Chain A
Amino acid sequence: MDLIILGAAGETMATAFGTSLVLLVSFLVLLGALSYFVWNPVKKIMDDREKVIHDDIQNAENSKKDAARLRDENEALLKQTQSEISEMFENSRKQANAEQELIIKEANARASHLITEAKADIEREKERAMREINDQVADLSVLIAEKVIQKELTATDQQELVKKYLQEAGDR
């Protein structure tokens, strides 16, 4: 048995350096050609895809962040708006209440004023009426007295009356 196994393969196979040369050349050419025409383009595509996916993920993350930010902003805005609205309601209600009270107070004041005025008027009128009535009653009683006196005081009556007064004056 030969020392190196290659020696046992037969005389024709011994040290076929030509074959090695052909193999090396064709392998290196194949390596170059495949690298240029196949591996590089495929690698480029894969890298591109990786980049696209990376970008997409980045974009998605950004969008998510934006969405969260917008949501927060909107919520804050909504809350603010709600509080503003409730504040406005509160304010307007207070104002309305105040106005209402004011109006009522004014109305009350005016009403009492009117009432007192009216009462005063009434008193005044009453007094005036009473005075007038008194005056008229006095006039009337005088008138009536005149009339009664004129009608009743006949000649006999006058004689009687004179007699009476004279008797009374004699008695005394």
Chain B
Amino acid sequence: MDHGTPTFQTNLFGIPIVFDLATCFMIVVTSLIVFFVLFFMTRRLAIKPTGKAQVLVEWLMDFVRGIITSNMAWRDGGRFHFLALTMIVFIFAANLIGIPFTFVAPDAEHTLWWKSPTADPTVTLTLAALMIVMTHYYGVKARGFKEYAKAYAKPLPFLVPIKILEEFTYNLTLGLRLYGNIFAGEILLTLLLGLVTSGSVIAAVGGFIPMMVWQGFKTFIGALQAFIFVMLSMVYLSHKVSEDH
């Protein structure tokens, strides 16, 4: 079941820069799909909505606004609205894009070209790092470096090492939770797909319904994980940005 990974390596000042080509391809595809779907959903905007598309996008905006306002005042969190929106739709689409089909190149390594970008830890950890680094940036910006640094010594000064370590674990847990859920889902989906396409009629019939069930569940997981990722990002952001907690 091992799939090969197409890589491209270049050296920048002696440091090897590795590109996972399949993942990069899927990132771009996901971004394009997300952009064009949303772009065409919002071409005919009206104060009195004429179609379901606008209502759906508006619902999404209210939903994400709800996520942010459940963690911090809108005065503080309003500027993260678009970021959180983009994050949730990107992760949602990235989680779902591996579900309907897959594509494995017919070469010796079974190179896997079509998968969820979020089934790659590099992707999820990068997104997590983006959010965590941002929390620090806005923490300093919103409250000043002194207040920001003081927050590490609260509630007790000897917890400082743990608090610093915590920032790294935030990053790891945020990224790996998403990765683990999606990657495990893809593995099981690949296994079920292998069962269905193994050639045996019984296996095909027996594997088909679990595969459908699993696809449905994976859709749910995809939406849930996108929500959790954004929710936790906003929780971490509010820790750094808000005064009161």
Contacts and interface: CB of A to CB of B under 8 A. Distances in A.
Nearest to A12: B5
A19 B24 contact: yes
Main SS class of interface, A: helix
B17 interface: yes
A33 interface: yes
Nearest to A41: B45
B104 interface: no
A135 B25 CA distance: 163
Indicate the size class of the contact surface on chain B. Answer: 35 or more
Contacts of A46: 58, 61
A20 B83 CA distance: 18
A5 B18 CA distance: 18
Interface stretch (B30-38, B95-103, B189-197, B198-206): B30-38
B121 interface: yes
B227 interface: no
Interface string B105-116: 000000000000
B176 interface: yes
Interface stretch (A22-30, A59-67, A101-109, A138-146): A22-30
B27 A23 contact: yes
A102 B24 CA distance: 116
Nearest to B15: A17
Nearest to A51: B47
Nearest to A39: B82
B61 A18 contact: no
B82 A14 contact: no
Interface in A25-54: 26-27, 29-31, 33-35, 37-43, 45-46, 48-49, 52
Contacts of B70: none
Contacts, number: 127
A38 B89 CA distance: 12
Given A6-B125, A19-B18, A22-B24, A45 B31 contact: no
A6 B123 CA distance: 12
A163 B133 CA distance: 190
A46 B45 CA distance: 10
A169 interface: no
Contact of A16 (B19, B41, B47): B19
**Which of B5, B23, B122, B125 lies at the interface centre, i.e. has the most chain A CB atoms within 10 A of its CB?**
B122
A33 B121 contact: no
A3 interface: no
Contacts of A167: none
B90 interface: yes
Given A5-B176, A13-B122, A22 B19 contact: yes
A30 B86 contact: yes
Contacts of B176: 5
B76 interface: no
Contacts of B17: 17-18, 21
Contacts of A19: 18-20, 23-24, 27, 120, 122-123, 126
A127 to B, nearest CB: 112
Contact of B58 (A30, A33, A42): A42
Interface of B: 5, 7-10, 16-20, 23-24, 27-28, 31, 34-35, 38-39, 41-42, 45-47, 54, 57-58, 61, 81-83, 85-86, 89-90, 117, 120-123, 125-127, 130, 172, 176
Interface of A: 5-6, 9-10, 12-24, 26-27, 29-31, 33-35, 37-43, 45-46, 48-49, 52
4 A-B pairs with the lowest CB-CB distances in the bound complex, closest first: A18-B19, A20-B126, A22-B24, A31-B86
5 contacts: A5-B172, A12-B5, A24-B130, A37-B39, A43-B81
